[in-house]
Structure 1
Amino acid sequence: MTMTGCSSGGASSGDGGDVTIEFSQWWAPELPEGALQELIDGFEDENPGVTVEMLSGPYASVQDQTFTAAASNTMADVVGLDGAWVNDLQKQGALANMTDLMADADYDDSQLASQVQVDGGTYMIPVVNFIYPMFTNDDLLAEAGVSSIPQTRSEFADAAAAISDIDSTTKGWVIPLSTENPNGIQNDLMSWVWASGGSMLDDEGQPDLTNAAVTSATTFVKDLYEADDVTPGALTLQEPDKVTEFINGRVGMMIDSLSRIDTIKEASPDLNFSISAIPAEDGYEGERGIPYASWGLGVSAQSENPEESWALVSYLMSESVNSELSTLANAFPGNTASTPDFSDADPLYEDAFEIYQSGYPANEFVGLPTADSLMRTFDEQFQRVLTGDQSVEEALETSQTEWLSEF
């Protein structure tokens, strides 16, 4: 079913006391056809009298409609969330406090790998997690004379330059910096900070954008751009655009979600590529932060059937179902007892698990207030750096001031 808006304001009662709950998400199109519906069918079999109406759509569509529905108190009972949305929705009073729902259900939350909290309460539970490794077109690396996958920033810069020298249509790296959807700041810029153990926040969780780690990573990206080793049009590119560039063999390296492996292989079966950890700053020997994103679950504060809504969440987080869902999504489970079965999956997923185990998941935007706005503010200032209108230091100082006003 295509998501066209949630007009019921939560669950509605059917004949004979039956209950219908709405579940909005962008996951169904990302899974094998019918796979999520099969899991939901299992929930309905275990919960007679409860029907789940699935509302599916692309990520951007679900995001827009979730916020529109939140403003009008018409949000679905159970909603698929991104961590960057949580603080804003919680401040609007749109999300139920899942700490209370878990307590009411006597639920043991020690089985949850993580929880996204605001002011001490849980408002999102990650159901599966995707890391964002570096993808490399190994044929382009070889053609450029690069003998091994870059492990440090200097090696990455050298590889990007060598790939860009192949011909006029090939570039070393791609970064999407459109302010329309500014998640390139999270996935493609701040990821360099986290990969070297750095942080964009201080010990109290406040913005710290002028520190050495953020300054170094921002300067590194600027230098790559100014060296003309980045795909043209970066200032208007969005996330799907970089995947297209990689699939078409026009770029040698990109940072993206583990979920892109199947997309790339289906679109370009002959493309020879690898995944690896994001290169660290030269001389860094500590653990590397690994960017990640989650398919999250939340419950509407306006749901008329919170018990049934929580039952669906706990079902999807149960050991067996979460194992199956993470296997289907080629992701890492949100239940600590669950284990994905990658036996029939591409060997690259095993490589990803080794990357995951060798570092730590890092995404400091999760749970921050107005996270998308923070990214956009940084993006706008960084674009002025790339167009020569200000220095990196000026951009970071301005971003720091604007971020502080949101905290």
Structure 2
Amino acid sequence: MRAQSRASRVVMAVGVVSALSLLAACAGGEGAPIGANADDNSTAADGSIVLEFSQWWEPELPKGSLRGMMDEFEKANPGVKVKLISAPYASTQQQTVAGAASKTLADVVGLDGAWVNDFSKQKAITNLTALMQESGYDDSELASQIKVDGNTYMIPVVNFVYPMFTNDSLLAKAGVNAPPSTRTEFVDAAKKVTASGKGNSGWVLPLAQDAPNGIQNDVMSWVWASGGSMLKDGQPDLTNSSVKSVVEFIKELNDAKAIAAGALTMKEQDKVEQFTNGRVGMMIDSLAHINLIRENAPDLKFSISAIPAEDGYTGKRGMPYASWGIGVSENSKHKKEALKLVEFLMSKDTNSKLSSVANAFPGNKESVPDFVQSDEMFKTAFDIWNKGVPANEFTGLPTAEDLMRSFDVELQKTLAENQPVDTTLNNAQKAWSAKF
């Protein structure tokens, strides 16, 4: 599974003591060395500067591809070497939290957007706006930047979009000839697939509270798809009509038993498994799972399309996404060189190459991944991406996982206990306001 599905998960702030305990616990594992500031290892024997670059990307990419890019960077920047500190996402997550708390982050650090607020407040990652201005870096080609209090702390390097997947065979057998484009069409299709029998369900919705990213990817994505928002002036706004209509929409599907059983304890990987096994008609999921589904179910006929919008909506559709982000340690001794590495990864050619091998969309507006020329489904996704607006309001929020979980708790009360929608939204609003 690609890291962007996990990348939508977030890290809660931890104290220095617990963070250091995590660091100690990971000390013997893969990617255990962390932070150029833990000891003075920032100069090679030949006098070259050594940049440490911690990330979870290398295990997700074809073998040798990221190292090859670093070799290209070193060739173009004599006197600078890059040491990759690579580990799976979960390990990198733990180590980055520990490094942020103890001020021992690597010079260049892979970031999940949901970590940025906490790390910036800890002064663990540097203000990239100021660093780019000092270095004269032109950021006009960057597709997006993640800001806190008006300053950039993370740059999305590649983006993983979350469109709607449809099992075309199940839909056709249920009398649905095309993927739905509106909520009314979606409800109709979901009910028809469920009524077709053989234990099939119209939609799969993961709402496990211990991995609550379903609130981001599978719930709020409906709000963003129709131009709505869960925020107002940067503060929680969960009682507005856009959010309410989505919760009512989900309740309608739940009451009609059109959602796959076990939603309240289901995680993202369970959702993908159910779709791959041909048991559900529709799901919202990461584009990167296309190849996984093809590999595990070569006979499954499926397609992707934009998330259906509210009836009558004609504006640009918000497209949920997750990113491999990048930042620079505040305590790095080599910020200038670190920014050069960031600039290299964001350059048109390198970003095209990286997005191609990652099956992702580029963070440089001028870059085009190779697969959009050779794979019709990826080309369709790229067209959806370009016609819509990237949307993920959880990025940059404080304790984003807690926000997802508190909303999840209340939503489950509506679905399982018939709690009134207004009560659910008012309770979630109170919980969120306390976090802000």
**TM tier, shorter chain?**
over 0.9
**Where does residue 273 of structure 2 map in the other structure?**
244
Q: Relative to structure 1, is the Cα distance of residues 83 and 391 closer, same or farther in structure 2, using a 3 angstrom cutoff?
A: same
Pairs aligned (count): 406
Question: Given that residues 326 and 332 in structure 1 are in contact (C-alpha distance below 8 angstroms), is that contact kept between their aligned partners in structure 2?
Answer: yes
Question: Given that residues 5 and 69 in structure 1 are in contact (C-alpha distance below 8 angstroms), is that contact kept between their aligned partners in structure 2?
Answer: no
Give the C-alpha shift of residue 135 in structure 1.
0.5
Give the C-alpha shift of residue 308 in structure 1.
2.2
**Where does residue 228 of structure 1 map in the other structure?**
257
2:137 paired with 1:144: no
- RMSD of aligned alpha carbons: 1.9
Give the C-alpha shift of residue 183 in structure 1.
1.1
- Out of 191, 201, 206, the position equivalent to 1:176 is 206
Q: Relative to structure 1, is the Cα distance of residues 334 and 399 closer, same or farther in structure 2, using a 3 angstrom cutoff?
A: same
- Out of 370, 387, 390, the position equivalent to 2:399 is 370
2:188 paired with 1:158: yes
2:92 paired with 1:62: yes
Question: Given that residues 5 and 65 in structure 1 are in contact (C-alpha distance below 8 angstroms), is that contact kept between their aligned partners in structure 2?
Answer: no
Name which of structure 1's ranges 209-218 and 17-26 shifts more when overlaid on structure 2: 17-26
Which aligned pairs between 1:97-136 and structure 2 lie closer than 5 A? 97-136=127-166
Give the C-alpha shift of residue 32 in structure 1.
2.3
Secondary structure of the corresponding residue to residue 371 of structure 2: coil
Identity %: 57
Name which of structure 1's ranges 232-241 and 83-92 shifts more when overlaid on structure 2: 232-241
**Where does residue 295 of structure 1 map in the other structure?**
324
**Where does residue 48 of structure 1 map in the other structure?**
78
2:360 paired with 1:342: no
Give the C-alpha shift of residue 115 in structure 1.
0.8
Separation of aligned partners in 2, 1:143 and 1:58: 40
**Where does residue 34 of structure 2 map in the other structure?**
6
Question: Given that residues 192 and 279 in structure 1 are in contact (C-alpha distance below 8 angstroms), is that contact kept between their aligned partners in structure 2?
Answer: yes
Separation of aligned partners in 1, 2:373 and 2:86: 27
For normalisation by structure 2, the TM-score amounts to: 0.88
Letter in 1 for 2:77: N
Give a deviation string over 1:54-86, Cα, whole Å, max 9, x none.
Answer: 223333332232112211222222111121111
Give a deviation string over 1:123-156, Cα, whole Å, max 9, x none.
Answer: 0001112221100111111122211111111211
For normalisation by structure 1, the TM-score amounts to: 0.94
Separation of aligned partners in 1, 2:202 and 2:89: 28
Name which of structure 1's ranges 75-84 and 384-393 shifts more when overlaid on structure 2: 384-393
**Where does residue 329 of structure 1 map in the other structure?**
358
Give a deviation string over 1:227-264, Cα, whole Å, max 9, x none.
Answer: 22222221222222211111111211110111111221
**Where does residue 3 of structure 2 map in the other structure?**
none
Secondary structure of the corresponding residue to residue 263 of structure 2: coil
2:401 paired with 1:379: no
Separation of aligned partners in 1, 2:154 and 2:330: 12
**Where does residue 278 of structure 1 map in the other structure?**
307
Separation of aligned partners in 2, 1:161 and 1:4: 49
Separation of aligned partners in 1, 2:258 and 2:88: 31
Separation of aligned partners in 2, 1:88 and 1:322: 27
Secondary structure of the corresponding residue to residue 169 of structure 1: coil
**Where does residue 82 of structure 1 map in the other structure?**
112
Q: Relative to structure 1, is the Cα distance of residues 175 and 320 closer, same or farther in structure 2, using a 3 angstrom cutoff?
A: same
Give the C-alpha shift of residue 389 in structure 1.
6.0
Separation of aligned partners in 2, 1:7 and 1:36: 19
